[in-house]
């Protein structure tokens, strides 16, 4: 299992600069930090291009999209999360088809590229939303 620092460094390679700033702020909130670290750890471990890794990654992304849908603050955020839900569903369907005999390396590579792109987008948004929610919780505390 990769070291905690190694997970953070590897995950930072595919999150955007805003999400990296959010992750730095999350580090101050133990509960949010633990959640972000767990998600990053799951995604880092599933970085391979095998169909099983893709399906596992898609499942993690589905959980993150569900969080984003449930915590959307406005219609724009909700719509973006619904769009991701549709893309995740399509990727899952494609991954299941890749398990059938006759799938090609090119098809697997194309899906891997799509899932990695979604991983970056969704995980970045997830970190930003975790940060936003943690800040909101901190402001409510007496």
Report the run of H or E that residue 76 belongs to, with start and end.
helix 75-98
Average the pLDDT over 66-83 and give the result. 95
Q: Which residues make Cβ contacts (< 8 Å) with residue 74, sequence separation at least 6?
A: none
Lowest pLDDT segment from 5-9, 26-30, 80-84: 5-9
pTM of structure: 0.77
- Confidence (pLDDT) at 131: 83
Say if residues 87 and 62 touch (Cβ distance below 8 Å): no
User: Taking the domains of the chain in order of start, what are their residue ranges?
Assistant: 4-140
User: What does the buried/exposed string (b/e) look like for 111-130 if buried means 16 or more CB atoms within 10 Å of the residue's CB?
Assistant: bbeebbebbbbbbbbbbbbb
Question: What tens digit of pLDDT does each residue of 35-56 get?
Answer: 877 777 777 765 566 888 899 9
pLDDT at residue 71 above 60? yes
Q: Coil, strand or helix: which one is 77?
A: helix
Cβ neighbors of 86 (< 8 A, separation 6 or more) are none
**pLDDT tens for residues 85-136?**
999 999 999 999 998 889 898 999 999 999 989 988 898 888 888 888 887 8
């Amino acid at each position: 299992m990769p070291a905690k620092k190694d997970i953070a460094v590897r995950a930072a390679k595919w999150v955007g600069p805003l999400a990296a700033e959010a992750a730095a702020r999350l580090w101050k909130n133990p509960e949010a930090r633990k959640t972000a670290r767990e998600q990053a750890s799951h995604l880092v471990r599933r970085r391979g291009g095998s169909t099983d890794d893709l399906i596992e990654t898609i499942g993690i992304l589905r959980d993150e999209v569900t969080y984003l849908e449930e915590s959307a603050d406005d219609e724009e955020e909700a719509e973006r999360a619904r769009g991701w839900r549709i893309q995740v569903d399509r990727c899952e369907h494609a991954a299941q088809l890749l398990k059938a005999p006759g799938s090609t390396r090119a098809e697997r590579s194309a899906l891997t590229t799509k899932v990695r792109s979604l991983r970056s987008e969704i995980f970045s948004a997830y970190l930003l939303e975790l940060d936003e929610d943690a800040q909101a919780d901190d402001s409510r505390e007496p």
